[in-house]
Amino acid sequence: MSQGTDASLTAPHTLSYTYKRSLGPLLGRFFTGLRDRQILGAKRADGSVLMPPKEYDPDTSAALDELVPVGPGGVVKSWAWVSAPRKQQPLDRAFAYALVQLDGADTAFLHVVDAGEESAMQTGMRVTARWSDEATGQITDLTFIPEA
């Protein structure tokens, strides 16, 4: 414990949760897809595609089962520029969180765009998936970069 001039003693504490989450059949296929460098969205009854996929339709509650490939390119619907990333965040240099609507998907999903600098970001810009060297089947296997 450190003892400063304050009346209260303080101590650093790191809380760790070793979560191991069951994926279930639908998300199991989604993350297996990522491992195999393929992005899959869930097809709804009206033909629209939900990305990220969900087990149930958020509007109708109908069970969803059919996964279809989406991306790897897409459009930035919104973005936020993170100039000073925190240690937990996926990149150690400035980057953008963005709502990306992948080609073939009807909803935007939150991900990361490695654009180098803020001036390279623009709503409506095209981005494409960049895979990490060793995809293991996690959402962090992906990063998006501005389309050349």
Partner 1 sequence: MRDVAVVGFSQSVSLRRERNRNEVEILIPVLQELREATGYTNEDLEFVCSGSSDYLAGQAFAFVAGLDAVGAWPPVCESHVEMDGAWALYEAWVKIQMGYADVALVYGFGKPSMGDLPITMALQLDPYTVMPLWPDAISVAALQARLCLDGGVMTDRQMAEAAVRDRAHAKSNPHAQVAGDFDVEGILSEPYLVSPLRKHDCSPISDGASAVLLASSNRAGDFSKRPAWIRGIEHICEPQDLGVRDLTRSRSTEIAAEKAGVGAGRIDVAELSAPFSHQEILVERGLGLGADTTVNPSGGALAGNPLMAVGLARIGEAAARITNGEAERAVAHATSGPCLQQNLVCVLEG
Partner 2 sequence: MSDEATEDLRVLRMPVELDYTYSAGRSASRFLRAIQEGKLLGQRCPVDGKVYFPTRGACPQHGMPIDGEPVELPDTGTLVTYSIVRVPSANIPLELPYVAVQVLLDGADTVMMHVLGECDLETVHMGMRVRAKWKPKEEWSTSVANILYFVPLDEPDAAYDSYKEHI
| Site mask for partner 1 (CB under 8 A), range 35-74, x = bound | ---------------xxx-x---xx---------------
The region of 22-30, 64-72, 77-85, 127-135 touching partner 2 under the rule CB under 8 A is 22-30
Q: Is 137 in the site for partner 2 (CB under 8 A)?
A: yes
- What is the C-alpha to C-alpha distance for residues 51 and 42, in angstroms, rounded to an integer? 7
- What is the C-alpha to C-alpha distance for residues 100 and 116, in angstroms, rounded to an integer? 17
The region of 27-35, 64-72, 127-135 touching partner 1 under the rule CB under 8 A is 27-35
- What is the C-alpha to C-alpha distance for residues 54 and 67, in angstroms, rounded to an integer? 10
Residue among 1 and 148 whose Cβ is closer to partner 2: 1
- What is the C-alpha to C-alpha distance for residues 52 and 61, in angstroms, rounded to an integer? 16
Would you state the torsion angle of the CA atoms of residues 79, 84, 88, 90, taken in this order, to the nearest 10 degrees? 50
Residue among 3 and 148 whose Cβ is closer to partner 1: 3
Identify what 116 binds: partner 2, partner 1, none; CB under 5 to 8 Å per kind.
none
- What is the C-alpha to C-alpha distance for residues 66 and 43, in angstroms, rounded to an integer? 6
Q: Is 80 in the site for partner 1 (CB under 8 A)?
A: yes
